[in-house]
Structure 1
């Protein structure tokens, strides 16, 4: 209990409280969280294994899917094991450096995830609107370069956020009412002037989300325009089917992401545990659903997965 009474400007340890108000249900909450995490890991590792093994899947579309799987695995792994330690073993302490490291990687991979979704939308645009030039515009090397650009962009955007927070003095109350070191929760513990921090995080949120969603909407707007020009209904259906999985994945990511961020920033009347559960589910649900969506919608991937399952 002495850890709660330490008073100094730069505490070496933070306390993650889990889900305040639902402490009695922590063990029960850990069950669905663990299931989501395990299903997500199995699904994403299956995608990585099958695409890696099958040379016929070594193309830009499936390379992007592997990149998406890697970001999903990394994001959930940086959060859930620590959350389960809180729920099951009451291990709530985390060092300041550990907290900032978790925050950096969590938000970096989140931005990387968004960049991959933009690239996937561009991939579908080229495949449908410029099919004869597809292999020239997009190949595995180009996709790898775009992935690297997305990673560099994420690091350059998130690093200042963490560095600005490192310079802040922290008050005696170093208790984080959350399961993770989410930026908005950690910054509230500062007893210094956080005006610059708040402005930068708000601008970052709107610039990244609005620009990425605008590019995705533009890509699919051009795709729909091109599809409507096709005279054959069969060609229409085939073109739209190639986009369905991507649209579902984007909806499962951006819808809870926007809802979670907006309620956290502007939903002051909402109970705190609702914010925390939404933030956790936003990190757990998309990684679990993405492999399922692609497994259902991609006949080629489904057949390859089925081949390995039947062989076992």
Structure 2
């Protein structure tokens, strides 16, 4: 989207300013002006030009270096890569497989942007850039999906509940069969019901995560297919059915991932509700 272009442009300018040639020119200006080094010929009588005027000669040189850095195609590719990797922090994903999936999605995004540059006509390039921008939303959803899967796989509370809740239900049912007091038996039945509801949510969550993991693999394959199709597009296809089908395919993938994420959040929140868990634990403990 446009914010990626802004981030890339900012990163490009920043890289150019802090490049080695730029640093050398700045250092030279500091030394020449700071030490008061006379300007050859102009610094001697009768001109007596101040050393500060070194800046007048070095400033255009410095701006030229910055301009070359900004215009460099390789520098542009490097800046985009940095912007993407900053937007999608891979270090936050601990699972190596999920991290590799996101890394692959980012790589496809970079290659798709390069594929847009094949179109020399500005109008065509603008239309294809819109397609590339759609892909960024796709990659954002891939990152969000991988992050949620990673959180689930590393959630020790969920893991513990999946192991402990069935045992708790079994223990409570045995206790209910032996209990003679009607009031306590009703309390046990209520606790069993809450525990069973909690376990059902946990199983739904596990199923949702399995589906999400499969969808992540499928959407990466689809992203690779879109990249291949973009490489095959030519100027005649930009306004035709091929480009339109490409846009529709991307929109479908983005919406599909959005729906899965929404579903995951709903189930995850229901299975991870600390209030409900505390209530069940207290009831379980009081019924023993």
Provide TM-score, normalisation by structure 2.
0.31
Bigger relative contact order (CA 8 A; separation at least 6): 1
Structure of higher CA gyration radius: 2
Provide TM-score, normalisation by structure 1.
0.29
Is the helix fraction higher in 1 or 2? 2
